[in-house]
């Protein structure tokens, strides 16, 4: 028969042995949450193409700038639409050819300069970086209560010659309205 001290020591050993397993499960859960978050955001990026009126046709080139958080989910989300999906660096000479630019989290330090380079007519800038629209970006995506919420800078989209569908505007937080309505 084990003494109370031996039993307590045995329980402590079992708990210590479980700590790495619990950490691994927590990491896998966080990784799965991140993967499902970006799978959802990939589908929403695809839908953005349909909810924006472009100066010409819908974009033929979707660019991810920085470390791609989507992986293959973006390719699956665009499926038959098949614009050219490109993964680029922030200083790529190919940026002006992009119709929709998603700015990845790895580019947080260069958002204002990057948005300035792509803020041309007919190019939509999107990101999930905090403060993206404050730095000149057009559409920010953020997770809230397991849903993606949009923040749209109406003035920036209009400057680029883009019109955001009223249905999407109703579901979004709008900034930059005052600039649009100014005389």
Higher-pLDDT residue of 32 and 1 is: 1
Which residues on adjacent β-strands are paired with residue 61? 84
Structural domain contains residue 123:
yes
Structural domain contains residue 18:
no
Q: What is the CATH number of the domain that holds 116?
A: 3.40.50.2300
Q: What is the rounded distance in angstroms from the CA atom of residue 104 to the CA atom of residue 110?
A: 11
* Greatest alpha-carbon span in the chain: 88
On average, the pLDDT of the chain sits at 78
Q: Give the pLDDT score at 25.
A: 30
Structural domain of 75: 36-181
pLDDT grade for 106, boundaries at 50, 70 and 90: very high
Reduced to 3 states, what is the DSSP secondary structure of residue 150? strand
Q: What is the rounded distance in angstroms from the CA atom of residue 139 to the CA atom of residue 162?
A: 12
Q: What is the rounded distance in angstroms from the CA atom of residue 139 to the CA atom of residue 126?
A: 5
Structural domain contains residue 23:
no
How confident is the model over 153-182, as pLDDT tens digits?
Answer: 999 999 999 999 999 999 899 988 766 554
Structural domain contains residue 1:
no
* Positive or negative torsion for Cα 48, 54, 57, 61: negative
Q: Give the pLDDT score at 34.
A: 58
How confident is the model over 39-94, as pLDDT tens digits?
Answer: 999 999 988 888 998 887 767 788 899 999 998 888 888 877 667 888 888 888 88
Structural domain contains residue 144:
yes
Q: What is the number of domains present in the chain? A: 1
């Amino acid at each position: 028969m084990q003494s109370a001290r031996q039993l307590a020591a045995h329980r402590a050993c079992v708990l210590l042995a479980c700590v790495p397993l619990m950490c691994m499960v927590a990491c896998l859960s966080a990784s799965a949450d991140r993967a499902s978050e970006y799978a959802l955001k990939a589908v929403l990026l695809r839908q953005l193409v349909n909810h924006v009126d472009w100066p010409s046709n819908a974009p033929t080139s979707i660019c991810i700038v920085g470390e791609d958080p989507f992986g293959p989910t973006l390719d699956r989300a665009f499926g038959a639409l098949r614009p050219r999906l490109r993964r680029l660096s922030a200083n790529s000479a190919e940026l002006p050819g992009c119709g929709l630019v998603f700015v990845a989290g790895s580019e947080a330090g260069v958002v204002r300069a990057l948005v300035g380079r792509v803020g041309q007519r007919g190019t939509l800038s999107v990101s999930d970086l905090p403060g993206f629209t404050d730095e000149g970006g057009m559409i920010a995506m953020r997770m809230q209560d397991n849903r993606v919420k949009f923040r749209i800078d109406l003035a920036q989209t209009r400057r680029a010659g883009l019109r955001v569908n009223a249905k999407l505007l109703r579901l979004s937080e709008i900034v930059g309205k005052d600039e649009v309505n100014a005389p």
